[in-house]
């Protein structure tokens, strides 16, 4: 039985622990990554808080610890179509996991060139992967990491369904299921909406089996596999472009920086722990949709929280000053967010919810590597439009 799996973007924050988990579960994993995320560290003059080792060292140490091989190809998936096609023909994977996109909303909004890079990279990566699967004739399941942000963050009076909305048309006479209307909040999120149209098309035209995972904000750092050896440590982004909110707050508390709540902190978002990310991706791989079925969409998120409550929880756990900053983004000051996540639950997933032990684990990592933090990189300086203002100081009161 073929058990090859390609992980595109397997050197990144979600991709690395996922590659290890899938390898540990007995699949032959090949990582494809052009290391652009590491190069972006150089551009932004800010490294992962954790000292990640080169990809070659990571793979060598994994082999030493587990006797399992992980293959690696340095390749730009958005540009090297011929290389990609050759790889599909050679490996004939049963599944691929597609993480290889520029994933930070603030980075995508930094400047016209960052906007255009994000669009070119993300759209071409997805397009090349789908096109090369068809041309190679390989029957493989595509598991893509999308985002909860494709829905916008409103609930329209109901729980957000898993990808499709049931609507009545023609004076209630006819019921149809349509893709939930896209409502991106950044150029990055817009590319994920565009990915969805490509999936729809390739599934309809070429019967490619596709699972699109609408993932919430990932928190945490390590998984049991990355903890086997310090050289397997996962990356920890904390800067204003790539750092995501809960990990940032835990790191900020650890280094004595005020927690940087944007606006009123009334924004509600969906969250998932990194250990659940890797589990969900494996569950998706092991339960592929059948041929002839439309694109399967799962909401890959455990629960939602508003930002102010998160800051309060971090304060209760480790003690921190909470400050409110003028919001650099164009987003609703307040929203409620409810969503369905029955798809993964029906496959046996029991979500990890925000808990003190796991938050403490992140806090301990932040304390351990705190001296690597460059505090000048903490404030988010990427502004969504000309009406937004930079705010390095913040205030004790919510910014309306």
Catalytic residues: 147, 188, 192
Structure tokens at 310: 């998160």
Residue 250 buriedness (CB in 10 A; 0-12 / 13-18 / 19+): buried
Residue 120 has, within 13 A of its CA and on its CB side, a CA count of 8
- Segment near ligand USQ (CB under 6 A); pick from 145-153, 204-212, 226-234, 343-351: 145-153
| 184 in contact with ligand USQ (CB under 6 A) | no
Residue 254 partner contact from ligand USQ, ligand NAD, none using kind-dependent CB cut-offs of 5 to 8 Å: none
- Segment near ligand NAD (CB under 6 A); pick from 8-16, 203-211, 283-291, 359-367: 8-16
Give per-residue burial for 312-346: e unless 16+ CB within 10 Å, then b.
Answer: bbbeebbebebbbbbbbbebeeebebebebebbee
| 244 in contact with ligand NAD (CB under 6 A) | yes
Q: Which of 28, 102, 147, 363 binds ligand USQ (CB under 6 A)?
A: 147
SS3 366: helix
| 84 in contact with ligand NAD (CB under 6 A) | no
* Per-residue binder mask for ligand NAD (CB under 6 A), 103-142, x = binder: x-----------------x---x-----------------
Q: Which of 5, 6, 7, 14 binds ligand NAD (CB under 6 A)?
A: 14
- The DSSP annotation for 148-164 comes to GGGG-S--TTS-B-SSE
Percent of the chain as helix, strand, coil, to the nearest 5 = 40, 20, 40
Residue 78 partner contact from ligand USQ, ligand NAD, none using kind-dependent CB cut-offs of 5 to 8 Å: ligand NAD
**Closest-CA residue to 293 (of 207, 169, 357, 369):** 207
SS3 203: helix
Compute how many other C-beta atoms are within 10 angstroms of the C-beta atom of residue 372: 16
- Segment near ligand NAD (CB under 6 A); pick from 30-38, 257-265, 317-325, 354-362: 30-38
User: Are 251 and 238 a contacting pair, CB within 8 Å?
Assistant: yes
* Per-residue binder mask for ligand USQ (CB under 6 A), 74-113, x = binder: -----------------------------xxx--------
| 331 in contact with ligand USQ (CB under 6 A) | yes
Scan residues 215-274 and list those touching ligand USQ (CB under 6 A): 216-217, 244-245, 248, 260-262, 267, 269-270
- The DSSP annotation for 43-81 comes to HHT---SS-PPPHHHHHHHHHHHHS--EEEEE--TTT-H
**Binding positions for ligand USQ, rule: CB under 6 A:** 103-105, 147-149, 216-217, 244-245, 248, 260-262, 267, 269-270, 307, 327, 329, 331
**Binding positions for ligand NAD, rule: CB under 6 A:** 9, 11-15, 33-37, 76-78, 99-101, 103, 121, 125, 145, 147, 215, 217-218, 244
């Amino acid at each position: 039985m073929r058990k090859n799996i390609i992980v595109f973007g397997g050197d990144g924050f979600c991709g690395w622990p996922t590659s290890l988990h899938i390898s540990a579960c007995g699949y032959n994993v090949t990582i494809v990554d052009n290391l652009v995320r590491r190069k972006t560290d150089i551009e932004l003059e800010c490294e992962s808080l954790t000292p990640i080792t080169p990809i070659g060292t990571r793979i060598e140490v994994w082999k030493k610890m587990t006797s399992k091989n992980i293959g690696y190809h340095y390749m730009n998936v958005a540009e090297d179509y011929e290389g990609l096609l050759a790889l599909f023909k050679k490996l004939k994977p049963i599944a691929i996991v597609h993480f290889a996109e520029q994933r930070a909303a603030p980075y995508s909004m930094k400047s016209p060139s960052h906007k255009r890079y994000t669009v070119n990279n993300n759209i071409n990566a997805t397009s090349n992967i789908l096109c090369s699967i068809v041309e190679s004739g390989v029957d493989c399941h595509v598991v893509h990491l999308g985002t909860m942000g494709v829905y916008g963050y409103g609930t329209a009076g109901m729980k957000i369904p898993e990808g499709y909305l049931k609507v009545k048309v023609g004076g209630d006479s006819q019921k149809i299921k349509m893709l939930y209307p896209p409502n991106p909040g950044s150029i990055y999120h817009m590319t994920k909406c565009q990915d969805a149209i490509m999936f729809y098309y390739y599934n309809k035209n070429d019967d490619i089996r596709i699972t699109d995972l609408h993932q919430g904000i990932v928190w945490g750092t390590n998984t049991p596999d990355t903890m086997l050896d310090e050289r397997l440590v996962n990356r920890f982004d904390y800067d204003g472009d790539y750092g995501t909110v809960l990990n940032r707050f835990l790191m900020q508390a650890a280094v004595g920086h005020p927690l940087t709540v944007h606006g009123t902190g009334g924004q509600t978002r969906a969250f998932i722990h990194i250990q659940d990310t890797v589990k969900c991706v494996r569950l998706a791989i092991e339960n592929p949709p059948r041929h002839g079925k439309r694109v399967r969409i799962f909401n890959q998120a455990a629960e939602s929280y508003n930002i102010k409550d998160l800051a309060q929880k971090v304060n209760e756990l480790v003690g921190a000053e909470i400050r409110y900053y003028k919001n650099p983004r164009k987003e609703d000051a307040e929203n409620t967010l409810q969503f369905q996540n029955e798809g993964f639950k029906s496959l046996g997933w029991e979500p990890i919810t925000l808990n003190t032990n796991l938050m403490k684990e992140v806090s301990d990592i932040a304390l351990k590597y705190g001296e690597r933090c460059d505090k000048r990189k903490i404030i988010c300086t990427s502004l969504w439009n000309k009406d937004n203002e930079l705010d390095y100081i913040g205030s004790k009161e919510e910014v309306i």
